[in-house]
Structure 1
Amino acid sequence: MSWIDRALLACGALALVTPVLARDPVISYDFGRPATPQEIALWNIDVRPDGTGLPPGSGTAARGRQVFAENCAACHGENGVDGIKDRLVGGQGTLASGAPVKTVGSYWPYATTLFDYIHRAMPYQAPGSLSNDDTYAVAAYILSLNGIVAADGKLDRESLPNVRMPNRNGFVPDPAFDPAKLFKTK
């Protein structure tokens, strides 16, 4: 059977199943169980720009320097520059230029987003493995390298949302964009 035949067969099967799904969107497969509130809480780790969702803990830029050297420098460079992955430091004042340098310090509008990203996705080889304290520390270190937090700075869930990023007001709506046009019908 060719790949075209398999694709047509799959589309036909989907066409047969779709009316069933429309009538009964909750399908039981007779295995598993609903997640408990405690299990859901383990995955509910998103952090919003206003700091909602930040966990307890704290970290200093000095501790962050150590954690960064052990977990981040191999990809991002010793000081957040010149690594094989994204540059994290510098670029302030370049966004309106012909060669913008988009880094945490120049582009990101909220420091809480930095914590959230590190907490969920870093380090690359073991995402989510840093403790809350070490995540706060790495965020403090990266922000200190960008001159946003003092070199002896400390971050926690009260102070992090108050960090004012240089590009906080840099994301503005496009005046030519009209969301109502997305849903107009003829």
Structure 2
Amino acid sequence: MRMRDLLIASLAAAFLPPPAHSESSVKLGIGRTATDAEIAGWNIDIDRNGTNLPPGKGTVGLGREVFDQQCAACHGPKGEGGVGDRLVGGHGTLATPKPIKTVGSYWPYATTLFDYIRRAMPYPSPQSLSNEEVYAVTAYVLHLNGLLPESAALDAKTLPSVRMPNRDNFVGDPRPDVK
């Protein structure tokens, strides 16, 4: 008998209209407005032009060290892939039946690489690298793809100037409401 009553109550609730008050008048008594400092802590996105890049500088050499310690277990010792995505190679494959989409073959902006590493890597500890380490790993991955020399260093001024091979061939979202 109890199960039947529960079923009837559930069905009735599913078909009842919502309460007559607006969302803005509902006070749940939970949460709070984020502070400016809290918002700034999450406002770390970098656009293709390098807007919002942080201070710091990283070299290919430091990037190799950090990559070996933090990235190679998933992406392979030279970025060839493994548990994680392949980061290197794929040049000239995008127009083939089996394209290999890597940082060096597919990504249109080096700043996107920095942004992704900074936000999401290393797994499972995203945002644990310093700005210098993120610049360094970015430099190393670009070096592995033949885009930077061994002696290169990246910072907020030099990173946006790295010219990616697929920059002019990347197709953006054609929807007019997407920027």
Whether the TM-score (by the shorter chain) exceeds 0.5 is yes
Residues 100-135 of structure 1, C-alpha deviation per residue, up to 9 Å, x if partnerless?
A: 110000000010110010001000121110000000
Could you say what the CA RMSD is over the residues aligned between the two structures, in angstroms? Answer: 2.6
Amino acid at match of 1:44: N
Q: Given that residues 89 and 102 in structure 2 are in contact (C-alpha distance below 8 angstroms), is that contact kept between their aligned partners in structure 1?
A: yes
Are 1:66 and 2:68 counterparts?
no
Whole-angstrom distance in 2 between the partners of 1:10 and 1:81? 55
Measured against aligned partners, the alpha-carbon deviations of 1:20-41 in whole angstroms (never above 9, x if no partner) come to 3xx3446432233321111111
Identity %: 55
Amino acid at match of 2:100: V
Give unpaired runs (5+ residues) of structure 1: 181-186
Aligned pair in 2 of structure 1 residues 52, 179: CA closer, same or farther (>3 Å)? closer
Cα separation, 1, equivalents of 2:9 and 2:176 = 39
Match of 2:94 in 1: 95
Paired residue for 1:153? 152
1:111-162 CA distances to partner (integer Å, 9 max, x unpaired)?
A: 0110010001000121110000000000000000001111111000111111
Residues 81 and 87 in structure 2, CA contact (< 8 A), matched pair in contact too:
no
Structure 2 contact 45–115 (Cα < 8 Å) conserved: yes
- Could you tell me which residue of structure 2 aligns to residue 53 of structure 1? 52
Query: Which letter maps to 1:16?
Result: P
Farther off after superposition, 37-46 or 131-140: 37-46
Distance 1:119 1:58 in 2: 14
State the Cα distance separating 1:5 from its structure 2 match.
7.7
- Aligned residue number for residue 75 of structure 1: 74
> What number of residue pairs does the alignment pair up?
173
- Report if aligned partners of 2:88, 2:144 keep a CA contact under 8 Å in 1: yes
Q: Describe the shift of the 1:122–1:6 C-alpha distance in structure 2 as closer, same or farther (beyond 3 A).
A: farther
Structure 1 stretch displaced more, 65-74 or 39-48: 39-48
Could you give the per-residue CA deviations for residues 159-182 of structure 1, whole angstroms, max 9, x where no partner exists? 1111110010112368xx6769xx
| Structure 2 length-normalised TM | 0.85
> TM-score, structure 1 length as denominator?
0.82
Structure-2 change in CA distance of 1:166 and 1:32 (3 Å): same
* DSSP 3-state at the match of 1:169: helix
Structure 1 stretches (4+) deviating beyond 4 angstroms?
4-13, 177-180
Separation in structure 1 between the aligned mates of residue 11 and residue 107 of structure 2, nearest angstrom: 45
For residues 151 and 9 of structure 2, the distance between their equivalents in structure 1, rounded to whole angstroms, comes to: 62
Distance 2:130 2:41 in 1: 14
2:119 is matched with: 120
Question: Partners of 2:9 and 2:87 in 1: how far apart?
Answer: 46
SS in 1 for 2:58: strand
